[in-house]
Structure 1
Amino acid sequence: MFASLRIPGAARAFIPALIGRSALAMAGLAVLLAVQSRTGSFALAGLASAAFGVANVIAAPWRARAVDRWGQARALGLLALVQAAGFLALGIVATVPAEGPGWFLALAAAVGLSAPPLGAAMRVVWSSLTEPGAQREKAFSLDAVAEELLFVGGPVAITAIIVASSPGVGLAVVGVVGLAGTVGLITSAASRAQGARGAIAREHRARPLAVPGFTRVLVVLVGVGAVLGVVEIAAPALAAEQDAVPVAGWLLAAFASGSAIGGLLYGHIRWSVPLGARLLVLCLGMGATAVAVSLLGSVVGSLAVFAVGLVALGAFLAPSLITGYLVADSVVPVDGRTEASAWINTAVNLGASVASAVAGAAIDEAGAGIALLVVGLVAAAGAVVVPRRRLRAAVES
C-alpha cells in the first residue's frame, strides 16, 4: 500500500494535501476552546463549533462542484485564502472585547463554508495517477488510513499548541497550516493537471446525484455515519457511567485505531468481490458488530471489553469509506468526481450529526448500550438498499 507513494508525482501532492487536511482535524476543537476561553460559556462554544461543522457539511458538495468546474488551483486556492482570513479574524475576535456572540457564530460558519475539499481533490489526483483496480484501491486505502490518523493526532496537537500559547495563536496556526497545505497541493504537477472544466456546457456536466444508484449508496453510508456518531457519544457516556471519564479518550482512540487497521487490511487484500457486494458485506458487518458490542457490553460491563469491541467495530469504518470512494470514482464521469467524493463524506457526516443529536437523549433515557444496539440494527437494515446490480453494470461498462 505504501508503494503508492513511489508513483511519480504522488508524494509531492499527497504530503502537502495531508498537511492541509490536518487543519480540518484541528479546527473544530480550536474553535470550541477559543470561544469558551473568551466567553467562559461552553454553550456558546458548542454553538460556534456546531456552526462550523454544519456549514462545512452543507457546503461540501457545492465547493467540490466548484473545483470540478474551475480546476483545483483556482477553486482550492481561493477557498484556502478565505478560510485562512476567517481563522485569523476569529483569532482576533477571541482575544479582544467583542460586542456580542454573533461574531463568533458568523466567523465559525464562514471558516466552515470555505473549507477547501482537499480530501476529495486528492482522491481525484490519485485516480489520475493510478490504474483502476488493485493499484487504485491501495492508494485510496493509504489515503483513508492517513486521514483517520490525522483525526487521532490533530486534536492532541492543537490542544498542546493552545495550552503553550493562546487560543488566538491556535486559530492562526490552523489557518496557516490549511493555507500552506493547499498551496503545496495546487502547485504540484499532478494537481495542476486537473484543469478547469468551465467550458463544459452546464447541461452536459456530470451530476453525481443523477447517476443511477449513487443516491442509494449515499443512503447506506448515512447508516455508517450514524454508527460513528453514536460511538462518539456512547463511549464518553459509558465511561462516565463507570466513573472513568479520563478513559473516554482511550475508547475513542480504540475506535479510530480499529478504523486505521481496517483500512490497512483493505489495501492489502486482492479483491475479486464487486464493489456493490463489498459495500453490502461491510455495512452489514458494521451493523452486526455494533449490536454485538452493545449486547456484550451490557452483559460483561467491562470498559476493557468495550474498547476491544470498538476496535472491531472501527475496523469496518475506513473500508466502508474506501469502498464508497471507489464507487464514486467508478460510476461518476471524471468531471464530477470531486463532487461525488464530497457527497460520500457528506452522507457519513450527516449520519453522524443526526445520530449524535438523537443519541444524547436516548442515552439519558436508556443508557449507551441501547443507543448502540438501535443504530446497529438501523445500519444493518439500511445496507440492503446497496444497488449491487447497478454498480456492477456501471463498473463493467
Structure 2
Amino acid sequence: MFAVLLLPGALRAFIPALIGRSALAMCGLALLFAVEQSTGSYTQAGFATAVFGIANVIAAPWRARGVDRFGQRIVLNAMATAQAVGYAALALLSGAEGVAAGWFLVLSAVVGLTTPPLGAAMRTIWASLTTTEGDRTKAFSVDAVCEELLFVGGPVVITAIIVATSPGTGLWVTAVAVTIGTVAMTSSASSGALRGTRGGAAREDRPLNQPGFARVLVVLLGVGGVLGVAEIAAPAVAAEHDAVTVAGWLLAAFAGGSALGGLVYGQMKFTSGLGPRLFALCLSMGFAAVLASQMDTLGLFAAGLAVVGLFVSPSLITGYLVADTIVPERSRTEGSTWINTSLNLGASLASAGAGIVIDRSGAWLALFLGGVIVLALAPAVPFARLREGLRGDPLSAG
C-alpha cells in the first residue's frame, strides 16, 4: 500500500502537507488554553473553540471552490498566511492584560474561516498522480491513516509544548506549522501543476448537483455522528468507573482501530462498487456501536470502541473515492471538502446531543443511539445508476 509514496512527486507534496495539517490537530488545545489563561474562564475558552469550529465548517466548501478555481499555490498560501497572522495575534493577546473576551472570538472566527483545506488539496494531488481506482484507494488509505495518527499525536505534542512553555507558544508553533507546511507543499511540482480553472465551475459541475452525491453526504452524517458520540462517551464512561485517566486510552483505542481499518482497507481488492461497500461499512459500524454500548467493563468497552473505529477510516476513504469519481475534475477539491464537512457536521451535532443524553441517561444510551442513527441513514446510499459518461458508474454494484 505504501508503494504509492514512491510515485513521482508524491512525497515532495505529502510530507509538507502533513506538517501543515498538524496545525489543525494542535490548534484546538492551544486556542482553548490560551483563551482560558487570558480570561480565566473555560466558558469563554469553549466559546472561542466553538466559534473556530463553526467558522471552519461554514467556510469549507467556499475555500475549496476557490482552490479549484484559482489553483493551489495562490489560494492555499494566502489562506495559510492569513491564518498564521490570526494565530500570532491570538498569541500576543493571550499574553496581554485586560483584553476584552470579544477579541478572542473575532480572531477565532478569522483562523477558522482561513483554514487552508490541505487534506482536500492533497487528495486532489493523489488523484492527479494515480491512474487506477486501486492505486487511488491505496493513496487515500495512506492519507487517512497518517491523518488519523496526526490527530493522535498532535494534541500530545502541543500539550507538552504548552506545559513546558505557555499557551501562547503553542499558538506560535501552530502558526509556524501551517505556514511552513503549506508553502512547502504548494511549491512542489505536483501541486503547482494544479493551476485551477480560472473560471467558475458550471452549475451542473458542482458536487451537490451530481446525482447521488447529496445522499452520500447524508450517510456520512451518520458516520460523523458515531465519531462525535464516541469522543464524548469515552471520557464519560471513564468517569463513571472513577478512572478519568483512562479516557485518553479509550480514545486512543478508537483512533487506533480507525488507523488499522484504513491500513487493511487499503490492502484489499474489491469486486463490488462503492455504493454496496459504503452500505456494508455503515451497517458494520452501526452494529458495532450498538454492541459496544452494552460493554460494562473498561477493557471490553475499549475493545468495542476499537471495533467501531475499524470502520471510520474505510467509510471516509470510500466517501473520498465517491467524490473523486462522480464529481468533475474542475470541482474535485470542493467535492472532497464536502465529504469532510458532512462528517464534521455530524460529529458536531452528535457531540452536543450526546452531552445531553449522557447527563440524563448515561453514556451507554448515547453510543447506542449513535449506532441506531447510522443504521437508519445507511439505506440512503444511492444504489441506482448515476449519470453515465462522467467517469463510470461507481455507486452501483459490480
TM-score normalised by L of structure 1: 0.97
Which of 294, 298, 301 aligns to 1:303? It is: 298
Distance 1:391 1:259, change over 3 A: farther
Partner-residue secondary structure (3-state), 2:205: coil
C-alpha RMSD of the superposition: 1.2
Q: Partner of 1:275 in structure 2? A: 274
Partner-residue secondary structure (3-state), 1:396: coil
Write the deviation string for residues 111-163 of structure 1: whole angstroms up to 9, x where unpaired. 01100000000000000000121111100000000000000000000011111
In 2, the alpha carbon distance for the partners of 1:312 and 1:54 equals: 29
Shift of 1:203: 3.4
Shift of 1:99: 3.5
> 5+ unaligned residues in a row in structure 1: which ranges?
none
Look up the equivalent residue of 1:328 and give its one-letter code.
A
Write the deviation string for residues 303-343 of structure 1: whole angstroms up to 9, x where unpaired. 01000011100000000000000000000000001000000
Shift of 1:374: 1.0
TM-score normalised by L of structure 2: 0.97
Shift of 1:167: 1.0
Contact 1:275 1:392 survives alignment (8 Å): no
In 2, the alpha carbon distance for the partners of 1:99 and 1:374 equals: 42
Q: Partner of 1:334 in structure 2? A: 329
Shift of 1:43: 0.7
In 2, the alpha carbon distance for the partners of 1:210 and 1:358 equals: 30
In 2, the alpha carbon distance for the partners of 1:368 and 1:156 equals: 25
Look up the equivalent residue of 1:195 and give its one-letter code.
R
Q: Partner of 1:389 in structure 2? A: 384
In 2, the alpha carbon distance for the partners of 1:262 and 1:162 equals: 32
Contact 1:287 1:376 survives alignment (8 Å): yes
1:9-28 mapped onto 2 (5 Å cutoff)? 9-28=9-28
> 5+ unaligned residues in a row in structure 2: which ranges?
394-398
In 2, the alpha carbon distance for the partners of 1:251 and 1:383 equals: 26
Shift of 1:391: 5.2
In 1, the alpha carbon distance for the partners of 2:174 and 2:204 equals: 34
Which of 354, 370, 376 aligns to 1:359? It is: 354
Q: Partner of 2:110 in structure 1? A: 110
Contact 1:276 1:391 survives alignment (8 Å): no
Q: Partner of 2:211 in structure 1? A: 212
In 1, the alpha carbon distance for the partners of 2:165 and 2:293 equals: 41
Q: Partner of 2:292 in structure 1? A: 293
Shift of 1:63: 0.4
Look up the equivalent residue of 2:68 and give its one-letter code.
D
Contact 1:274 1:392 survives alignment (8 Å): no
Q: Answer with 128-137 or 9-18: which moved more.
A: 128-137
Write the deviation string for residues 222-252 of structure 1: whole angstroms up to 9, x where unpaired. 0000000000111000110110000001000
Shift of 1:390: 3.3
Look up the equivalent residue of 1:193 and give its one-letter code.
A
In 2, the alpha carbon distance for the partners of 1:278 and 1:132 equals: 18
In 1, the alpha carbon distance for the partners of 2:315 and 2:330 equals: 24
Distance 1:205 1:391, change over 3 A: closer
Residue-pair matches, total = 392
Identity rate of aligned residues, in percent?
59
Q: Partner of 1:371 in structure 2? A: 366
In 1, the alpha carbon distance for the partners of 2:44 and 2:199 equals: 44
Q: Partner of 1:184 in structure 2? A: 184
Q: Partner of 1:164 in structure 2? A: 164
Shift of 1:375: 1.3
Contact 1:276 1:392 survives alignment (8 Å): no
Q: Partner of 1:122 in structure 2? A: 122
In 1, the alpha carbon distance for the partners of 2:106 and 2:186 equals: 28
In 2, the alpha carbon distance for the partners of 1:106 and 1:74 equals: 25
Shift of 1:196: 2.2
Q: Partner of 2:45 in structure 1? A: 45
Contact 1:275 1:391 survives alignment (8 Å): no
Q: Answer with 17-26 or 33-42: which moved more.
A: 33-42
Contact 2:196 2:330 survives alignment (8 Å): no
In 2, the alpha carbon distance for the partners of 1:99 and 1:30 equals: 18
Contact 1:239 1:247 survives alignment (8 Å): yes
Shift of 1:204: 5.7
